[in-house]
Structure 1
Amino acid sequence: MEAIKILFTTPTGLGSLAVIAFIIGMGAFFARMFARKMREDAEAARRGGN
């Protein structure tokens, strides 16, 4: 319980929380981007063009 208190109340904890949130957001962004690119490439291959 003390770790959660430190995470949300100290500057170091808040910085760590910001980094964690950024990494999760970046992962979601890249997952969506890669899925879109794979879908576009599959459609282009189906049409026979590059």
Structure 2
Amino acid sequence: MDFWLDLLFGNAIGLSSIIVILGALGLMIFFGGYFIYKVLSAPSPH
């Protein structure tokens, strides 16, 4: 476990990759939630 923590947070490249991965996940969750919200709140076509 110490190896992975050192690999991820021991240098700037590991930390920036974690930030990029978390940012991508955050965007996917946001846009997925927004899409579901728009589908559920859309008026019925008939």
* Unaligned residue ranges in structure 2 (runs of 5+): none
**Structure 1 residue ranges (4+ consecutive) displaced by more than 6 angstroms after TM superposition:** none
Superposed CA deviations along residues 11-49 of structure 1, whole A, max 9, x for unmatched, are: 0000100001101110110111001110122xx116x4x
RMSD: 1.5
Q: TM-score, normalising length from structure 2?
A: 0.78
**Identity among equivalent pairs (%):** 29
What SS does the aligned partner of 1:27 have?
helix
Q: TM-score, normalising length from structure 1?
A: 0.73
Highest CA radius of gyration, 1 or 2? 1
Aligned residues: 45
Higher helix proportion = 1
Question: Paired residue for 1:30?
Answer: 31
What SS does the aligned partner of 2:18 have?
helix
